[in-house]
Every structure is written in C-alpha cells, then in structure tokens.
Amino acid sequence: MILNERCRDVIQELFNIGAGRAASTLNDFVQQRVFLQVPEVFLCDDRDQAIAWVEKTLDDQKLAIVQMAFQGDMEGRTSLAFSRKSAQLLASILSGNDCNKPDAELNAVGESVLVEVGNVLMNGVMGTLGNMLNMKICYQVPQFLHHNVELMVAEENASFLMARAKMTVAELEMEGVILVLFALHSHDHFLSAVERLAASK
C-alpha cells in the first residue's frame, strides 16, 4: 500500500474526527471526561511489519481486543486493541467498579464495558471514514477477544491500516491501537477514495 504524505494526513484527520465523535458519545454515557486522540497512523502490506508496530505501541503480548467485521464497498475488519493493563484500567474507571483492578483478570463486566467502548470508537472512526469517503459499509456485531499480537494480525494477504489511539479518562492516560484490516481487493478502492478526498481539499 503506497500512500503519499497528503493522503496520510487526510486519513489521520479522518481518524481524529471519528475519535472526537466517539469521545463525545462516551462523555455522554459514562459521566467521565474522556479524551481521545489519534496521533499517528501507519499503513503497510507486510504482516511482520504490522506485528512489530503493534508490539512497539502496546508493549504487551496479551491483548484485550474488540473486533467488528465490515462489508460493502470495503471488506475487512476493524479492531481496537489494548494492553491487558490498560484494558483493566479503562474498564475499572468506566464501570466505576474498583474490583476490575489492573492486576486482576479482566472479568465479564470489564469485557462488556470494553465492547461498548470499542463499539463507540470503531463506529466513530469507521462511520467518519464511510461518510467522508462516500462509501457504503455494513458492520457485524462487535466481539470481545483475548488474543496475542500474532493472532490479532493473522491474515497473510491483507493491507493494514493502523492508528495509535490515545485515550485519557479521569486524568489517566492509556494507549490502544485501532487496526483496520482490508481485504486486498478493498484497499485500492479505499486509497482511491482517500486520494479523491485529498484532491478535493
């Protein structure tokens, strides 16, 4: 996947708009001041490169992942991944339940909280991408998964669009990764749409 600087900026901007909407939605529901930012995006066709980037960003082999498959003008799946510690912390703050301590196993309550957060964030980002790039996309139901990095990025023949998601809740900072994984036939379509949008600006 080749992307020029301008297209990269457009994608980062789209991610940030989506994250901003998601943060606003979360603020309404969890009664905590949630701040979301996407400071970096990374695109590649190489699985090993993608794994290395996720590992560098999250620094944890065991991840808490919320995943949503999508179809339509683009096909693939979107994942939101947190290191186990960040996932515990986030679930604990948002559910107001201090039993979800960072050093404990993530329980079903924590999982359902993360599913909702992932759902809001991924809907925000993918909804913005779909709207701004004028693409029709349908989504499947979000799922919670305990995976390691290699399972998260399992596909060999895919393009990877990854973004670092920085989330601040109750003055605590957590980092996650938003991974949009395109089926190979989709990414040309996606890039064309991005280039069109970049050219129109």
Partner 1 sequence: MSIDFSLFDYVQEGVVVLDRAGKVRFWNQVMVEWTAKTAAEVVGLDIALQAPRLGEERYRNRMVAALDQMAPITFSAAIHHHLIPCPFFSEGLKAYRLQDTMMCPVSKGEERLLVLSVVDRTDHMANIIGLMQANARLERSVRLRRESDRVNTMLAAGMDNAAEAILVVDHKGRIEYANNMFYRMAQSVSPTVRNQLLRELLTVDQGELLQQEIAEAIASGEIWRGRVVVRRPDGSRFPASGSAAPVRLRKGRKVSHAVLILNDITDYEMANHDLQARKKHEAMLTMVAGISHDFNNLLSGMVGNTYLLRKSVRNDDKASRRLNTVEESLAEATAIIQNLMIYARGEEMVQGVLPLAPFIKEWSKEVQGILPESVALHLEIDQDYFPFRVDVSLFQQALMAVADNAMDAVVDMDDPQISIVFRRADEGMLPAQLSEDACVLLTVSDNGCGIFEADMAQVCDPFFSTKQIGSGLGLSVARASIEQHRGVLHIDSTEGVGTKVSILLPLAR
Q: Cβ(137)–Cβ(71) under 8 Å?
A: yes
Q: Work out which of 61, 112, 134, 192 binds partner 1, going by CB under 8 A.
A: 112
Q: Is the CB of 25 or the CB of 57 nearer to partner 1?
A: 25
Please report how close the Cβ of residue 27 comes to partner 1 at its closest, in angstroms. 10
Does 61 bind partner 1 (CB under 8 A)? Our answer is: no
Q: Is the CB of 41 or the CB of 68 nearer to partner 1?
A: 68
Q: Work out which of 82, 139, 160, 190 binds partner 1, going by CB under 8 A.
A: 139
Q: Work out which of 29, 33, 61, 154 binds partner 1, going by CB under 8 A.
A: 29
| Cα separation, 84 vs 61, whole angstroms | 9
The pair of three-digit structure tokens given for residue 76, joined into one six-digit string: 């693939």
Best CA proximity match to 62, nearest among 83, 46, 41, 44: 83
Q: Work out which of 2, 5, 56, 141 binds partner 1, going by CB under 8 A.
A: 141
Residue 1, C-beta contacts closer than 8 angstroms, at least 6 positions apart: 43, 44, 45, 159, 160, 161, 187, 191
Does 99 bind partner 1 (CB under 8 A)? Our answer is: yes
Does 52 bind partner 1 (CB under 8 A)? Our answer is: no
CA angle 50, 182, 144 (to 5 degrees): 75
**Secondary structure (3-state) at 155:** coil
Q: Cβ(87)–Cβ(79) under 8 Å?
A: no
Does 134 bind partner 1 (CB under 8 A)? Our answer is: no
Does 94 bind partner 1 (CB under 8 A)? Our answer is: yes
Does 177 bind partner 1 (CB under 8 A)? Our answer is: no
Q: Report the interface residues with partner 1, using CB under 8 A.
A: 25, 28-30, 68, 91, 94-95, 97, 99, 104, 107-110, 112-113, 115-116, 119-120, 123, 126-127, 130-131, 136-142
